[in-house]
Chains A and B, each alone.
Chain A
Amino acid sequence: MAVDEKLKIELGKQGVMVTTIQELYNWGRRSSIWPMQFGLACCAIEMIATTMARYDLARFGSEVFRPSPRQADLMIISGTVTKKMAPQVVRLYNQMAEPRYVIAMGACAISGGPFKQGYNVLKGIDRYIPVDVHIPGCPPRPEALIQAFMTLQKKIDEQHLTGEGRPRHLDEQAPGEFQVPEFGEHDLDPPSNPGTWTVPKIIQ
């Protein structure tokens, strides 16, 4: 049962703060998303530029870039995920603590981008791990990364604690483990994780 807005505003005027556990929980988690220090290629430089003085990412609670996956709850895949790097990316994602989000930053992380026709480039990281926000651009501007942060924060705000709208980490059925691909003789096997990657029907 949500508190109805008008009552909330009235009480707010008299200095009484009314909230639900869900709002408090979501507010707590979205205001301090600690990204993992995980730069792959050119988009990593734009990510660093976003944390620098001019486009200050610290204003969104992401001041600290944690090197170790154990203490990070957001993985910004900034750059090209090659087939040699894919098992490491998926293993790092597995090793992150459970409420974890993924931002696929840049064309290469979403779909292989300009290097798509190559033999060593993974065509998009959402073959192996679920991606929450995609940022197109090559590289996307620092403001675009901040706007993606705000999109992710809105998305966290709308999450419910129970019922079917609840996020992956509160849902027993949601898979906690994502299969790490092995190095095959010609390509990674399996080439994609069927659990998270569904090839859409050909639209044309």
Chain B
Amino acid sequence: MSSFGIKNEKLAGWNRPPVFESDGEGELLEVAMGPHHPSTHGVFRMDVVLDGERVIKLKPVFGYLHRNHEQLGQTQSYLANMPYTDRLDYFCSLTNNWAYALAVEKLVGQEVPERAEYLRVILAELTRVQNHASTIGFLLQEMGASGTPLMYAFREREKILDLFESLTGSRMMCNYMRFGGCRVDASPAWIEATRKVVAGLPAFVDEFERFLMTNEILMARCQGIGVLRPDLAVNSGISGPMLRASGVNYDIRKVDHYGIYDRFKFRVPLGDHGDIYDRYMVRMLEMRESISILNQALKDLPAGPVMDPKAKIRNFRPKAGESYGRIEAPKGELGFYLISDGSPNPYRYRVRPPSFINLTVLEDMCLGSNVADVVLIFGSVDIVLGEVDR
């Protein structure tokens, strides 16, 4: 597979001269890129051992935003957990809701009406577009383009957040899905507004692509940096755009056939080098795929109830049993593992966080690269601390 048609290979970073072997003269400097650091997307700490500028050892330290989400989950009722899932990955609250609702529906075998399934797909794909746009914006911000790409990405994100707010009531914390459907039906005016925003999205992605794809600085700084081998990726449980950028064809929308994704025709973009540039390209192409899914879903959105009338919201006591439901969240495989013992609150409530596990290979990718590249590699992993530390 050619690497996305970029012909001038000589610019591609990965055929660089061998890394400068340290002749052991200089001492090692141990520094903490600590909880308060402009590049760490929140409170994440990396203890880095440097030889000059080269990274010799990198130990991530977590826990600065451990808000005991799972312990609270086990003391609250099933319904009261739903608003807490918004705060897991606070960029994509609707996919968190969907993953939790899916796990509970698997626990009790609850069906979801057609219109709710379509609304879930539409909202999940909108979330994916605004998450990927923000991620690329932050990646460029860390590369030095301070502000401009992030401003463009957030201008688009604001439009999508307006849609979320007019439907669910809150910009970021939607608390919209229930076990067996969605809380509020989408009015025809909202559908019309969504169509208008979705119609504007391809122009935004084209503009972003013209803006960034062949930018020499981006290529020089991203190609060949932070390479992740496919077998190490699969063995380390990596999921999402990072896994697909290493060339592994594994997208849970195609593997698990959850929701109604089988009705939509969409492709899964794959990279072949597994470096930062491939992750950037996979996210750009995934945005295009999401836009095509959105168009298909908006075209044949059926009428009908949004909530299964038999579904219980309050006083919900599933019978004893356990269930593991997972979806393809924008950051990877987001799973909820619930063990129920018949009482109104779950016996064990476990969140499988994609960002937390994608960081397993951070050290393998960063060894031998410069400190400035560590910031980029960390940005390309795309983590959110609310989900990492739960």
B67 in contact with A115 (CB, 8 Å): yes
Residues of A near B38 (CB, < 8 A) are: 37, 67
B154 in contact with A49 (CB, 8 Å): yes
Looking at the assembled complex, report how far the CB atom of A23 sits from the nearest CB atom of chain B, in whole angstroms. 33
Residues of A near B389 (CB, < 8 A) are: 82
Question: Does residue B158 face the partner (Cβ distance < 8 Å to A)?
Answer: yes
A52 to B151, CA, bound (A): 6
Complex interface bits, A158-198 against B, C-beta within 8 A gives 1, otherwise 0:
00000000000000000000000000000000000000000
User: Which of A3-11, A24-32, A116-124, A148-156 sits within the interface?
Assistant: A116-124
A40 in contact with B65 (CB, 8 Å): yes
A52 and B155 contact, Cβ closer than 8 Å, known pairs A42-B87, A42-B90, A114-B87: yes
Complex interface bits, A119-150 against B, C-beta within 8 A gives 1, otherwise 0:
11100000000000000001101000000000
For B157, the closest partner residue in chain A by CB is A49
A84 in contact with B173 (CB, 8 Å): no
Question: Does residue B106 face the partner (Cβ distance < 8 Å to A)?
Answer: no
For A54, the closest partner residue in chain B by CB is B158
Identify which of A38, A46, A52, A138 contacts B36 (C-beta below 8 A): A38
A53 in contact with B151 (CB, 8 Å): yes
Complex interface bits, B52-91 against A, C-beta within 8 A gives 1, otherwise 0:
0000000000011111110110010000000110010011
A53 in contact with B154 (CB, 8 Å): yes
A143 to B72, CA, bound (A): 30
A118 in contact with B173 (CB, 8 Å): no
A44 to B66, CA, bound (A): 16
Identify which of A38, A45, A92, A141 contacts B90 (C-beta below 8 A): A45
Interface size class of B (residues with CB under 8 A): 20 to 34
A85 in contact with B84 (CB, 8 Å): no
B172 in contact with A42 (CB, 8 Å): yes
Could you tell me the dominant secondary structure of chain B's interface residues? Answer: loop
A118 in contact with B34 (CB, 8 Å): no
A37 to B43, CA, bound (A): 11
B68 in contact with A138 (CB, 8 Å): no
Complex interface bits, B87-98 against A, C-beta within 8 A gives 1, otherwise 0:
100110000000
Interface size class of A (residues with CB under 8 A): 20 to 34
Looking at the assembled complex, report how far the CB atom of B339 sits from the nearest CB atom of chain A, in whole angstroms. 20
Question: Does residue B113 face the partner (Cβ distance < 8 Å to A)?
Answer: no
Identify which of A42, A54, A85, A114 contacts B64 (C-beta below 8 A): A85
B72 in contact with A139 (CB, 8 Å): no
Looking at the assembled complex, report how far the CB atom of B250 sits from the nearest CB atom of chain A, in whole angstroms. 29
Residues of A near B353 (CB, < 8 A) are: none
List B289-304 residues whose CB lies under 8 Å from chain A. Answer: none
B65 in contact with A79 (CB, 8 Å): yes
Question: Does residue B150 face the partner (Cβ distance < 8 Å to A)?
Answer: yes
Question: Does residue A88 face the partner (Cβ distance < 8 Å to B)?
Answer: yes
Question: Does residue B385 face the partner (Cβ distance < 8 Å to A)?
Answer: yes
A67 to B90, CA, bound (A): 22
B65 in contact with A53 (CB, 8 Å): no
B155 in contact with A41 (CB, 8 Å): no
Question: Does residue B259 face the partner (Cβ distance < 8 Å to A)?
Answer: no
A99 to B386, CA, bound (A): 32
Looking at the assembled complex, report how far the CB atom of A198 sits from the nearest CB atom of chain B, in whole angstroms. 26
A121 to B386, CA, bound (A): 13
Residues of B near A53 (CB, < 8 A) are: 151, 154-155, 158
A88 in contact with B36 (CB, 8 Å): yes
A39 and B64 contact, Cβ closer than 8 Å, known pairs A117-B75, A118-B71, A119-B71: no
Question: Does residue A62 face the partner (Cβ distance < 8 Å to B)?
Answer: no
Looking at the assembled complex, report how far the CB atom of A81 sits from the nearest CB atom of chain B, in whole angstroms. 9
Identify which of B35, B67, B91, B173 contacts A120 (C-beta below 8 A): B67
A38 to B155, CA, bound (A): 22
B84 in contact with A114 (CB, 8 Å): yes
A104 to B221, CA, bound (A): 38
Query: Closest 8 interchain pairs by CB?
Result: A118-B68, A42-B90, A52-B154, A67-B38, A115-B67, A85-B64, A54-B158, A53-B151
Q: Which residues of B contact A (CB under 8 A)?
A: 34-38, 42-43, 63-69, 71-72, 75, 83-84, 87, 90-91, 150-151, 154-155, 157-158, 171-173, 385-386, 389
Beyond A53-B158, A85-B64, 19 additional pairs, beta carbon < 8 A: A40-B42, A40-B65, A41-B65, A41-B90, A42-B386, A45-B90, A54-B155, A82-B64, A84-B66, A85-B35, A85-B65, A88-B34, A108-B67, A114-B83, A114-B87, A115-B67, A119-B68, A119-B71, A120-B67
Q: List 18 A-B contacts (CB under 8 A).
A: A41-B42, A41-B67, A42-B90, A42-B386, A45-B91, A46-B172, A52-B150, A53-B155, A67-B37, A82-B63, A82-B64, A84-B63, A84-B64, A92-B36, A115-B67, A118-B72, A120-B67, A139-B173
